[in-house]
Amino acid sequence: MRKKGKKWFGLLIAIVFLCAFCVPVAAASKLPRLQVKSTQLVNSSGKKVQLRGISTHGLSWYPEYVNQSAFTFMKKNWKVNAVRLAMYTAEYNGYCTGDASNRRKLEACIDNAVKYATNAGMYVIIDWHILSDGNPKTHQKASKAFFKDMSKVLKGYDNVLYEICNEPNGGTDWKTIKSYAKAVIPVIRENDKDAVIIVGTPTWSQDVDQAAASPISGYKNIMYAFHFYAGTHKDDLRNKMTNAIKAGLPVFVTEFGITDASGNGGIDKKEANKWIKALDKYDVSYVAWNVSNKNESSAMIKSSCTKKSGFKRSDLSTSGKWVYDLLWKKAGKN
């Protein structure tokens, strides 16, 4: 009996030890599934919802900020209600350029991140982050396979949104992007008939006017990405966005910064405030770039800060402090 007791006690200790290192199992999201009604994100009761979130930097380069403590901390202390997972496709260790082992790591990172976001009570955007591969059709086959697998694994999560092409560029036109979207959207819809899907637009997701002139038909809960950087983009681009919304296009700002378009230039707080005023007027959701300590002005964490969570205001860069103050100011508005 003593030997058996010892054996069971040892087994119990082993289980406790292993569980301490397990990814917490997320309960089904308590957040309402979002829908697109006219130009608006709404909840299941039809009430307008404005997501205000933050984006990771590339998951291959800064995965350390994807952890339960950081997500819970930012939800509670930064008042973030959405997080965007930026998975680069073509850069170093991108999903389409790295090896099979790297792809598995990225998939596991996303899977864990969704659980962390769900546990923290946040919405989460899975971002197929094309950049140097400016035409989304370049890796369309890989994209379809990725979103097929992801939507199958995550179909039980009501808090997941899919961004299927970050910033088409290099002269890629709307006709090409639309063709790509029509190939990828059905793959997601096979597993998840209702998740919000966000489609990138030409010229680094700026030419929403082209999408407004010829939107994707035949599917519900489709939105269109729009990106801006306040140090570069002014009234002309803001007018392009507002005109597209007035024309009936559901716009989602899945990435913005208060620096110039390089992500590492001058900061323009005055112009940034104009942008936020316009977004709030039309209840447009927005996600700020980026949570990392990269030595560039758009990174929210100071490059000298090595913390992976529990950031004090003094740990934040100028961009980080501005975003932090904005989120606190807007907290509780909806």
Identify whether 167 is a catalytic site residue: yes
Cβ atoms 237, 204 nearer than 8 A: no
Q: Would you state the structure tokens that stand for residue 222, as one six-digit string? A: 């489709």
CA angle 233, 235, 238 (to 5 degrees): 75
**Residues 91, 163, 255, 296: which is the catalytic one?**
255
Identify whether 255 is a catalytic site residue: yes
Cβ atoms 39, 251 nearer than 8 A: yes
What sections of the chain are H helices per DSSP?
Answer: 2-20, 68-77, 100-120, 140-153, 174-191, 202-205, 208-213, 235-246, 269-281, 318-330
CA 28 to chain centre: 20
**Residues 163, 167, 271, 296: which is the catalytic one?**
167
CB-side neighbour CA atoms (13 Å) of 270: 2
Cβ atoms 111, 156 nearer than 8 A: no
Strands (E) in 38-96, as ranges, are: 40-42, 52-56, 82-88
Q: Which helix (H) or strand (E) holds 14?
A: helix 2-20
CA dihedral 169, 220, 334, 245 (to 10 degrees): 50
What letter represents residue 79's amino acid?
K
CA 129 to chain centre: 10
CA distance 208 to 194: 23
Write out 289-301 in H/E/C secondary structure. Answer: EEECCCCCCCCCE
Q: What are phi and psi of 24, to 5 degrees?
A: -60, 135
Cβ atoms 179, 196 nearer than 8 A: no
Catalytic residues: 167, 255
